[in-house]
Structure 1
Amino acid sequence: MINLFQPQVGAEELDAVAQVFQDHWLGHGPRTKAFEAAFAEHLGVAPEHVVFINSGTSGLFLATELLDLEEGDEVVLPSLSFLAAANAIMTSGGRPVFCDVDPRTLNPTLDDIEQVLTDRTKAVIVLHYGGYPGDIVRIAERCRELGITLIEDSACSVASRVDGRAVGTFGDLAMWSFDAMKVLVTGDGGMIYVKDPEQAARVRRLAYHGLAQPSGFGYAKVSARWWELDIPEPGRRVIGNDLTAAIGSVQLRRLPEMVTRRQEIVALYDRELAGIEGLLTPPELPEGHESTHYFYWVQMSPEIRDQVASDLLADEIYTTFRYAPLHKVPTYGTPDTRLPSSDWVSDRTLCLPLHPGLSDADVLTVAASLRKAVEARTAEKNARS
């Protein structure tokens, strides 16, 4: 089976884990701090603004908790988002308000967001679909003008930039996912960035039970009666640990080579899929934009999309569509929402395998199978009409 995602881990990551075992300290410790510092440098921010946590989802929940949402407060987000964002909003007491997206980039534009802003809008969450930065510069400027908190869900965009500036640093908060399906993996894990220094310190507390000063061996020599508790506000335990941080530090060093290979695969797909009637490939990036290339998506007639996916699966090629439109999920209470571009996208889009473990031969196999399936199913459709 040619998989959609596949983590790239090997001897370097194993060596890093072995060193953690030798030190007999697997929990939150020096390797966690080192990974935070290295990731902060990658972003171009100070280390105290980033916190290594156990998942990108935890980052979304922490971010929405910082909003101090009250009944009636709204948070705008694209319907084509991972469900964790909507769950975080609702769990924090707010109401998700879904906006539409550009049908080709699958990212919301500033116009899409402005169409659903109200005087109850407390924040905007932007997902950088597939690693494409999207309209983040204009969205960030407008949110600053309106005094609306901007949260960047950067799970897909660990290496994305606009004019050299890291995606995730345009807004007030951002989070990255390092789960087993992402570009940089730690098994489970994530990072949260908080622009405001006081809020960053608050997030660090909230991520570890709300403790102002964690009790334990690390504080025994710097604090009398180190076992006593100081909890300004209750939190939870969602911190990262040295075991996963050790893997993450290696992965971060390898990130440029992994993204370069993704770029090569994208270029090969672009070449091999060009000229297939009725098939759209991802649009070119605007000047100054760099993508992590997390997804490679193709779009076709809704009359053949599902059949093409089945044909590829029969050829041992796994495809899927990410992300299912949230405005159609009854849990989120938006039955009257009409988002034509999101609906158009969800009926026509497939994500193809994309990871550095693919050989050129694998990519050519996927492209040939897709071409054959699209042409055959299109011919059948035309014959029926």
Structure 2
Amino acid sequence: MINVMQPTLGREELDRIKEVFDSNWIGKGKLVADFEKMYAKHLGSTPDRVLSTNCCSEGLFSSMHLCDIKPGDEVIVPTTSFVGAGNAVCANGSKLVLCDVDPRTLNARATDIEKAITPKTKAVLLLHFGGIPCDMDTIMPLAEAYGLKVIEDCAAGVCSAYKGKALGTHGDMAMWSFDAMKILVCGDGAILHFRDPEIREKADKWLYFGLEAKSGYENSVAQKWWEFDISAFGHRAIMNDVTAAMAIEQFKKLPMFMEKREAVHRAYNEGLKDLAWIDLPAPMEEGCKSSYYFYHIQIKNGKRDELAFFLRNEDIYTTYRYFPLHRVPHYGIGGNFPGADYAADNTLCLPMHQNLTADEVQKIIDTIKGFGAKYC
């Protein structure tokens, strides 16, 4: 089976993990701090604005507390979003308000967001679909005009940028994922970015039980180093040196990953461009940069599901991301979302990862063409 997503791991990760084992310390330590500094530089930011955590979903859930969103406050989320975003809002006791998306890019537009704003709106939790940037030049002024926090879900945007600035550095808070299905992988892990360094400091405590004073070796102040106080009922949601070791080695490979993924993207564009029954991904705005996390096509003749099954029978796995939240019964949210509905019914994500061979990409293209010749 040709996988839709797949990590690239090698001896380098194993060797670095062995060093961690040999050090006799596998918890949060120097390697975590090193990775945070590397990622801060990667973002064009500073270490006092960057913090690691155990997964991107923790970042979504913690964003409610860190951005001072209270029960009853309304948070606007594009209906085409990861389920973790919706759950984060609801678990906080806040009101999940959904907005529509562009049917081609699957990103929310400023006009979609503005339609959902009420006097109770406190924040926008914005997904950059597949790491493709939303139009921040229109969204940020809108948020500022209404006094809204902007939380950027950049889970798939490890190398994405909007007009020369790293994605995730525009809003108040952002998060990137390094789980097993992402580009840079470390089993599980994430990076958070904060516009305000004081919120980063607040997050550092929140993600370790709300501790005000560290116990043990790190506590050099208290006479009894086992004593402590807390400032919040926080979680324990941290990376450790094992996951950081993997992340550091994966980080070094990002340029190679991007080069290979872009080559796959270009091959699909070239191989599928003459199929009138398919829409290829919309071109990005000038000055923007993708991480090539997804390659999504849209089937114009209503035969998306048939194509997916046809490909699967040929050992080519595809999928659709993300099932719209207004179609999830448990949320109980109705409404009119024509852009998201069109995308959900007609979009298919093709295999996209740096391990794909030229022969595999050609097989995918030829199989899609074969389906078209037979059924379209």
Identity of aligned residues (%): 41
Task: Quote how far apart the aligned CAs of 1:285 are.
Answer: 1.4
Q: Is the partner of 2:278 in helix, strand or coil?
A: coil
Output the CA distance in 2 between the equivalents of 1:177 and 1:103.
Answer: 25
- Per-residue Cα deviation, 1:237-279 (whole angstroms, up to 9, x for no partner): 1111010011111111211111111111100000001111210
Task: Quote how far apart the aligned CAs of 1:217 are.
Answer: 2.4
Output the CA distance in 2 between the equivalents of 1:144 and 1:260.
Answer: 36
Counterpart position of 2:162? 162
Q: Is the partner of 1:192 in helix, strand or coil?
A: strand
Output the CA distance in 1 between the equivalents of 2:94 and 2:342.
Answer: 28
Q: Does 1:278 align with 2:280?
A: no
Counterpart position of 1:321? 320
Q: What count of residue pairs does the alignment treat as equivalent?
A: 376
Conserved in 1, the CA contact under 8 Å of 2:158 and 2:291? yes
Output the CA distance in 2 between the equivalents of 1:155 and 1:71.
Answer: 25
Output the CA distance in 1 between the equivalents of 2:164 and 2:184.
Answer: 20
Evaluate the alpha carbon distance shift between residue 9 and residue 52 of structure 1 in structure 2; reply closer, same or farther with a 3 A threshold: same
Counterpart position of 1:96? 96
Output the CA distance in 2 between the equivalents of 1:287 and 1:35.
Answer: 31
Q: Is the partner of 2:253 in helix, strand or coil?
A: helix
2:345 paired residue among 344, 347, 372: 347
Q: How does 1:1-385 map to 2 (within 5 A)?
A: 1-219=1-219, 221=220, 223-301=222-300, 303-335=302-334, 337-378=335-376
Query: What one-letter code is carried by the residue in structure 2 that aligns with 1:161?
Result: A
Evaluate the alpha carbon distance shift between residue 125 and residue 302 of structure 1 in structure 2; reply closer, same or farther with a 3 A threshold: farther
Query: What one-letter code is carried by the residue in structure 2 that aligns with 1:375?
Result: A
Mean Cα deviation higher: 59-68 or 359-368: 59-68
Output the CA distance in 1 between the equivalents of 2:287 and 2:185.
Answer: 26
Task: Structure 1: state its 5+ residue gaps.
Answer: 379-385
Query: What TM-score comes out, normalization by structure 2 length?
Result: 0.97
- Per-residue Cα deviation, 1:125-149 (whole angstroms, up to 9, x for no partner): 1111112112123212221232100
Evaluate the alpha carbon distance shift between residue 68 and residue 331 of structure 1 in structure 2; reply closer, same or farther with a 3 A threshold: farther
Mean Cα deviation higher: 309-318 or 157-166: 157-166
Query: What TM-score comes out, normalization by structure 1 length?
Result: 0.95
Conserved in 2, the CA contact under 8 Å of 1:160 and 1:291? yes
Evaluate the alpha carbon distance shift between residue 70 and residue 93 of structure 1 in structure 2; reply closer, same or farther with a 3 A threshold: same
- Per-residue Cα deviation, 1:101-147 (whole angstroms, up to 9, x for no partner): 11111111111111111111100011111121121232122212321
Task: Quote how far apart the aligned CAs of 1:54 are.
Answer: 0.6
Q: Is the partner of 1:52 in helix, strand or coil?
A: strand
- Per-residue Cα deviation, 1:34-62 (whole angstroms, up to 9, x for no partner): 00111011111111211111100000011
Output the CA distance in 1 between the equivalents of 2:79 and 2:167.
Answer: 20
Query: What one-letter code is carried by the residue in structure 2 that aligns with 1:267?
Result: R
Output the CA distance in 1 between the equivalents of 2:216 and 2:174.
Answer: 30
Output the CA distance in 2 between the equivalents of 1:222 and 1:23.
Answer: 26
Query: What one-letter code is carried by the residue in structure 1 that aligns with 2:229?
Result: D
Task: Structure 2: state its 5+ residue gaps.
Answer: none
Task: Quote how far apart the aligned CAs of 1:214 are.
Answer: 2.1
Query: What one-letter code is carried by the residue in structure 1 that aligns with 2:296?
Result: W
